[in-house]
Structure 1
Amino acid sequence: RYGVEPLWFACVRELTACWLFLGMGYATSPHRLKGVLHDGRSLLSIAGIAIGSILFSQVAYLEAIDWTNSATATILQSLCTVIVMAYVCVVNRRGPRRREVVGLALAIAGTYLVATGGNPAALALPPQGLAWGFGCALAAAILAIQPIKMIARWGNFAVNGLAFLISGLVLSAVYQPWNHMPALDAFGVLLLVASVVFGTFGAYALYLQGVKEVGSVRGAMLGTMEPVMATVTSVAFLGAHFSPMDLLGFAMIIVMVFLTA
């Protein structure tokens, strides 16, 4: 409706949500926020999180939505569970369990149905949408693993705030959002504010705190509620239409998440 470019949206979300995180960090545990600012090695690690987790996940997810739709992007993002499962198997030096093998087969079959609509001769999704969707999955897997140690040491708000700030500055330097300003009316500004407060600050704060509490694999499993909600709201509020093959593929990927987790 407003022609907002995904990279402009990512810049604004990151450079505004970061102050909400930092403000909450200062209000709840100022000693941690001050401590991390004086720890060079931790700041270097958080810079890595900013690029590897925050920047990658923000850009990949918004681009996937732009090329497909909210539900499809979120479903493809759920394939991160397969990547997390593979990581756990490598770290623990074990082979996949039977249910994990079944889950992997469901992931492949579900992705095939979503991508082709059941017709192997044609792509139901644009190649760019499929590529960004796989990028979402990789980014979400990194997000579920990379920040855990830093969050355990310095707290959710401090790590998120600094990572979002660094990521936003890097992306802005490359993209220069001031040269791509959209024309937003009052309702457009309201949508932007809601996305920053609930879709960025709220979502990342709750998700990463949950991952810290229950671990990467269970955190990814609980995140399965996100694609279900994305599908329902895409149909209810955005008028999206999905074929029976799309819905079957969605269901396979969601079942995969439970089996592998």
Structure 2
Amino acid sequence: MTNMERREALRGMSIALIGGVFWGLAGVFGQYLFEHNRTNARWLVSVRLLIAGALLLATVIMKQRDSFWKIWTNRRDAVSLLLFSVLGMAGCQLSYYTAVELSNAGTATVLQYTAPVIILTYDAVRSRRRPKGYELAALLLALGGTFILATHGNPGSMALSPEALLWGIGSAVMMAVYNLLPGKLMKKYGTFCVIGWGMLVGGIFLSAFTRPWHVAGQWDLRGVGAIAVVIVVGTVLSFSFYMEGVRLIGAPRASLLASVEPVTATIASALFMHVVFVGMDVAGIFCILAAVLLLSAPGLKR
């Protein structure tokens, strides 16, 4: 590897890592809005998707103007995009931020990161194959970590509310859908085009129920700054940084580095939102992160 290649690899790793950190901060600033500005997840998600989708599509118009409307000219692709927008994009964001609202950003993000195990299970069932040893180990770690987070090791009590647990697991399911649905569309039309339309259409769909033009909560300059971080830093910049990292070092390495998201959300929740994580919480978080790393390692090795 030449010095130039080393610098590019280091740059790609740094950029992918920053993208993961930005994603983690989005949940923490969302928690701030729920606690200090009395807004709610439904309103925040619809506004986030509408504005971030419009910003991403603006970059598509500047760089890929020919493919901007093309996705809507193919009926099958248009239907796939609509499903991705409603189930993958809107469903994933709404369930995640509702889990943040009911618990905290660190716990909600860690629960969402059980999604790779769900994808693994789906792939094994669809392919009619037995899971490999490391896949079974990851499944047990993820299930054990979720159990510890939810009950602190005591099946007779709940450390998380049932609603927070259900929305957290639901966000993992929707994140799996988010990852599985748009693959072919991204290869055909480009990642930014598909994600931009997914966000915008998902935001329009939610707007029918949330009416984002009726501003929810009590607002001040700090609140405006927080929602700007959620939209610009936690959505547009995070996604842009991550995709640039994928271009420079490949998806396996970039996805492994982006796993810093739940670590960032957990640490930032403790430092800035004064969320207290006890030993059992740390054990549960460790188990789920270990499961994610275990599933990422074979792809990284390849």
TM over 0.5: yes
Q: Structure 2: which amino acid aligns with 1:140?
A: M
In 1, distance between residues paired with 2:167 and 2:97?
9
User: Which is worse superposed, 172-181 or 82-91?
Assistant: 172-181
In 2, distance between residues paired with 1:39 and 1:186?
44
Q: How much does 1:147 deviate?
A: 1.1
Map of 1:46 onto structure 2: 81
Q: How much does 1:206 deviate?
A: 5.0
* 1:125 counterpart SS class: coil
In 2, distance between residues paired with 1:179 and 1:13?
14
The residue correspondences of 1:90-169 to structure 2 (distance < 5 A) are 90-169=125-204
* 1:178 counterpart SS class: coil
In 1, distance between residues paired with 2:254 and 2:81?
21
Q: How much does 1:165 deviate?
A: 1.4
Q: How much does 1:73 deviate?
A: 0.3
User: Which is worse superposed, 83-92 or 219-228?
Assistant: 219-228
Map of 1:56 onto structure 2: 91
In 2, distance between residues paired with 1:85 and 1:222?
19
1:137-192 deviations in whole A, cap 9, x for unaligned? 10111112111111111111211121111111111112223345322112211111
Q: Structure 1: which amino acid aligns with 2:209?
A: V
Q: How much does 1:93 deviate?
A: 3.2
* 1:118 counterpart SS class: coil
Q: How much does 1:72 deviate?
A: 0.2
Q: How much does 1:51 deviate?
A: 0.8
Task: Flag the 1:113–1:211 CA change in 2: closer, same or farther, 3 A.
Answer: farther
1:185-225 deviations in whole A, cap 9, x for unaligned? 1221111111111112233455577789956x877644421
Q: Residue 68 in 1 paired to residue 103 in 2?
A: yes
Q: Structure 2: which amino acid aligns with 1:260?
A: L
User: Which is worse superposed, 179-188 or 136-145?
Assistant: 179-188
* 2:68 counterpart SS class: helix
1:79-115 deviations in whole A, cap 9, x for unaligned? 1011111122234332111111111111121111100
In 1, distance between residues paired with 2:143 and 2:93?
24
Q: Structure 2: which amino acid aligns with 1:54?
A: M
In 1, distance between residues paired with 2:242 and 2:86?
18
Q: How much does 1:74 deviate?
A: 0.5
Q: Residue 187 in 1 paired to residue 238 in 2?
A: no
Q: Residue 79 in 1 paired to residue 114 in 2?
A: yes
What TM-score do the two structures reach when normalised by structure 2?
0.80
Indicate conservation of the 8 Å contact 2:38/2:216, yes or no: no
What TM-score do the two structures reach when normalised by structure 1?
0.92
Q: Structure 1: which amino acid aligns with 2:111?
A: L
* 1:182 counterpart SS class: coil
Indicate conservation of the 8 Å contact 1:57/1:139, yes or no: yes
Alignment coverage as a number of residue pairs: 260
Q: Structure 2: which amino acid aligns with 1:252?
A: C
Q: How much does 1:240 deviate?
A: 1.1
Map of 1:201 onto structure 2: 236
Gaps of 5+ in 1: none
The equivalent position to 2:207 in structure 1, one of 172, 190, 215, is 172
Indicate conservation of the 8 Å contact 1:144/1:211, yes or no: no
- The RMSD of aligned alpha carbons is 2.1
* 1:129 counterpart SS class: helix
Indicate conservation of the 8 Å contact 1:160/1:205, yes or no: no
Indicate conservation of the 8 Å contact 1:51/1:167, yes or no: yes
Identity %: 32
The equivalent position to 1:248 in structure 2, one of 283, 288, 293, is 283
Map of 1:237 onto structure 2: 272
